[in-house]
Amino acid sequence: MVEEIRAAGGEVFGITSEPHSLASEAEDTWDISIPVIGDPHHEIREDLNARGWLEIFYNEDYGHLRERSWASHPKGYFQPAIIAIDENARVLYRWRSVPKLSNIAGAGARPESRYTWDRIRAAMSSTGDADLDVDPILTEKDPPWLLSLLIHLANGWFIRPRALSLARDGRSGGFARVPVAIRRACFFFAAWIVALMLLPAQWVAVAALVWVIAVTPGVIEIHRQFQNEPDP
């Protein structure tokens, strides 16, 4: 896809809210085929907004990424967005993620690359700026929030919800942890079923209540840290 865009005279850039040193490191370590630019002070994001091209959501609270001690988002992290601009500063395509619990607070599916490139090519032969795409074809369907919360709980061993943070090498962590979390959830529920079969129901009920009380602060915290914006 990138080669098709370059053959048409364009270029693709990745922009991150981390410092440029980390952007360059990711470009090399993750073997990314496009230039990646660090924008830790949100100058590019603010310029896009000032020009009226695209207003990108960002989250100032990234405490759920605390395990990535090497990461840095001085003014918060960008939510996903796409913008395509031609040489005359005409907007050919624009999309932004509206972070909600239903799309894992912005970490959910993105527009399909082929769909996006087709929309850009179609806009090349038209006039005027493209409207914001509010209903693109996405790469996949996002899981319900309750399932997402269950996976985060399982990733934290059902003690404290733990975000699916991508490791620094870009090869481990992230959504690769989902199958592991699902297996943990199966064992977790199986253990409760066995307990109900072998122990008095009152004991199991008390244990369940203690567990709910123990995990509630973490659930409240992750709800606070995850963005849930009203859809404009």
pLDDT for the residue numbered 67: 66
189 and 111 in a common domain:
no
82 beta partners: 95
pLDDT for the residue numbered 171: 67
77 and 152 in a common domain:
no
- Report pTM: 0.86
Last residue of a domain, one of 92, 111, 143: 143
76 and 131 in a common domain:
yes
pLDDT for the residue numbered 159: 93
**pLDDT tens readout for residues 61-101:** 766 666 667 778 888 889 999 999 999 999 999 999 999 98
Taking the C-alpha atoms of residue 125 and residue 82, their distance in angstroms, rounded to an integer, is 20
Q: Which residues of 109-130 are buried (b: 16+ CB within 10 A; e: fewer)?
A: bbbeeeebbebbeebeeeeebb
Q: Is the residue at 176 inside a domain?
A: yes
Q: Do 57 and 99 form a contact (C-beta atoms < 8 A)?
A: yes
How many domains does the chain fold into?
Answer: 2
Q: Is the residue at 62 inside a domain?
A: yes
179 and 92 in a common domain:
no
128 and 47 in a common domain:
yes
pLDDT for the residue numbered 208: 96
The three-state (H, E, C) secondary structure of the chain, written as one string = CHHHHHHCCCCCCEEECCCHHHHHHHHHHCCCCCCEEECCCCHHHHHHHHCCCCCCCEECCCHHHCCCCCCCCCCCEECCEEEEECCCCCEEEEEECCCCHHHHHHCCCCECHHHHHHHHHHHHCCCCCCCECCCCCECCCCCCHHHHHHHHHHHCCCCCCCCCCECCCCCCEHHHHHHHHHHHHHHHHHHHHHHHHHCCHHHHHHHHHHHHHHHHHHHHHHHHHCCCCCCC
162 and 132 in a common domain:
no
Q: What is the pLDDT along the chain (232 residues), one digit of tens a residue?
A: 899 999 999 999 999 999 999 889 888 888 889 999 999 999 999 999 999 999 999 998 766 666 667 778 888 889 999 999 999 999 999 999 999 988 888 888 999 999 999 999 999 988 899 999 999 999 999 989 899 999 999 999 999 998 887 777 766 677 788 899 999 999 999 999 999 999 999 999 999 999 999 999 999 988 888 888 887 7
Last residue of a domain, one of 95, 118, 143: 143
Q: Is the residue at 106 inside a domain?
A: yes
Q: What is the CATH number of the domain that holds 70?
A: 3.40.30
**pLDDT tens readout for residues 6-32:** 999 999 999 999 999 988 988 888 888
221 and 124 in a common domain:
no
Q: Is the residue at 232 inside a domain?
A: no
Q: Which domain holds residue 165?
A: 146-225
Q: Is the residue at 230 inside a domain?
A: no
176 and 84 in a common domain:
no
132 and 23 in a common domain:
yes
Taking the C-alpha atoms of residue 16 and residue 13, their distance in angstroms, rounded to an integer, is 10
Determine how β-strand 91-96 pairs with β-strand 14-16: unpaired
Determine how β-strand 91-96 pairs with β-strand 81-85: antiparallel
